[in-house]
Structure 1
Amino acid sequence: MAFPPSPLSVWLEIAEREQLVVVAPDGTKRRGQRAWNDGFAAIASNPKVDDVGFINAIIDRAIAEDDVDPERVYVIGVSKGGMMAYRLAAELAPRLAAFSAVLAGMPVEAAYPPPAIPLSALIVASTADPFIPYSGGKSPYTLWFLAPMLGIETTAAIWRELAGLTKMADISPVATPQSHPTTRAIRYTWRANSSTRQVRLVKIEGGGHAEPSGKKRYPCIFNRFPGRQNADLEIAEEAWSFFKEKRLSAGPA
């Protein structure tokens, strides 16, 4: 049974519509699978690979050769790619206007310095994800390849506090014709009046380790272990809606 294209493939439609440059790099192959050096100190994936330098070079090249606006560089990653997005947000913050980590956790013990520069952050997480515990810790299903993670709401608070945003979030359930009674998406957005900087958590109640999408649906059998795929929102469109007004020079938080 062939899987459909990833929900992130919707970025190709967005790129054509909005005239964007989309770059989709791969991690380095290890133990038969591609992985990023995502900075988990206890269990490092490809610890000798300089993936931060790799992404930095890609940004340089995109600006030099593809006329990319250096004020509008964004990163998004899913699962291990989302963990890499957290690392990039900590180490390449001076180059990024915003980032998104989807179905991913920040490490309890990181092999990189803690984030020190405020960034707009879009965090998407599911409460029934068997691999990324919403409340933090280590999933029993990940065996050797994932170390303990911070809770999702703790992670959102780190980025919110770094940006100096209000503790009170704007809360808005995502109601769509495709809403499924077993999963529900809710947006929590923290903002500041003096800045376009925001931190948003999209909490998928009842969702599993599957990117929310209405267009790109995984086979029903997929839901048996990774968990249910929410259809309230299109992850690529959600990310672009969050990114598009963000600039590197966001101003004071």
Structure 2
Amino acid sequence: MPGRQGRTARAVIAAAAAMAMTSCGSADAPAPSPSASAGLPTGGTGTVEIGGRPVTVHVPDSIDPGRAAPLVVLLHGYSSDAREQESYLGLTAESDRRGFVYAYPDGSVDGRGNRFWNATDACCAFDSPQPDDSRYLSELISALKASYRIDRVYLIGHSNGGFMAFRMACDHADQITAIASLNGASWNDPARCRPSEPVSVLAVHSSADETIAFTGGALGNNAYPSAAATVSQWRDYNGCTDAGRDAPALDLVTVLPAAETSVRTFERGCAGGSAVQAWTINGGRHIPAFSSAFAAAVTDFLLART
């Protein structure tokens, strides 16, 4: 496990305890507007500055420039960064295997020197300024679509990045086909999320998460919902009507007994062919020790949503 990634949990707790947090809704400050960059790679991996922040883009050799391809955007956790998050989840190999454009941007740097996304009031803009990351990422997606032939967009986020993935699905459902969140949460107040269209959601939660509690909790004075409440919210947003069905358990974490991750899927009645899926890593922590099976399984879910 990367060293600084391993300090994410402690950094979130320390920052939440030390600072009084404010809402990141109407208080969001304007962020620089991204625009398409001539420096974006046409193949392989390259890092460019878009909207004043570094963004790494990987374009697999298998992509046909004459045909549209999916875009996957990875969002790092608080105190981590894009490169470390990619090292942790290893999605470049999936990009090569599946043929999707892959981007992993960096968030802003706060007063403690930690990168973050201003996602919900609970996480993780702990001081000022509070950038409008919802707008920034929306415009980043538009900039990438202007440079590559993209037919659908998926987000994957861990921790603070998971919160941000939910925020993007709330604010920019017209741009996003599906998201996957690992140990993140949506708004605690369901009324603050008003997706204009259905967005498929994969919500992955560790039952023994020591940072973002499985049963819900708060960072500073701002609450976040439990794993069950987060899934229930998105079932409601998408209009799903069934009680869900269990699927075979998955073996994703190297240090836990085989098939430690239970799976429940909600599809019946969901608008627009969307789905909500809940994975529970039984005994899992905030930063699980995944095998390569995790990246493959997550991209399986996302790319099936068209």
Superposition pairs of residues 1-253 of structure 1, within 5 angstroms: 3=3, 6=85, 8-30=88-110, 31-40=112-121, 44-45=125-126, 48-69=130-151, 72-108=152-188, 113-116=192-195, 117-138=197-218, 144=220, 147-176=222-251, 180-181=256-257, 184-192=260-268, 196-211=273-288, 213-215=290-292, 234-247=293-306
CA deviation string 1:128-174 (max 9, x = no partner): 10111111123xxx6x4x83211111110111122121332111242
Task: Determine which structure has greater relative contact order: mean sequence separation of CA pairs < 8 Å that are 6+ residues apart, divided by chain length.
Answer: 1
Q: 1:81 to 1:42 in 2, by over 3 A?
A: closer
CA distance in 1, matches of 2:2, 2:182: 23
CA distance in 2, matches of 1:64, 1:43: 30
Q: Report the TM-score, using the length of structure 1 for normalisation.
A: 0.77
Q: How much does 1:175 deviate?
A: 4.8
- Matched residue, 1:226: none
Structure 1 gaps of 5+ residues are 216-233, 248-253
Structure 2 gaps of 5+ residues are 6-83
SS of the equivalent of 1:202 reads strand
CA distance in 2, matches of 1:25, 1:43: 16
Give the RMSD, CA atoms, in angstroms: 2.9
CA distance in 2, matches of 1:189, 1:65: 35
CA deviation string 1:184-225 (max 9, x = no partner): 20011001378531100001111110145114xxxxxxxxxx
Q: Which amino acid aligns with 2:265?
A: T
Q: 1:148 to 1:63 in 2, by over 3 A?
A: same
Query: Runs of at least 4 residues of structure 1 off by over 6 A?
Result: none
Q: Report the TM-score, using the length of structure 2 for normalisation.
A: 0.64
CA deviation string 1:46-84 (max 9, x = no partner): 553121121112111111112222xx1011100001011
CA distance in 1, matches of 2:262, 2:305: 22
The alignment of Structure 1 onto Structure 2 pairs a total of residues equal to 221
CA distance in 2, matches of 1:236, 1:126: 16
CA distance in 2, matches of 1:42, 1:236: 24
Query: Taking every aligned residue pair, what percent have the same amino acid on both sides?
Result: 26
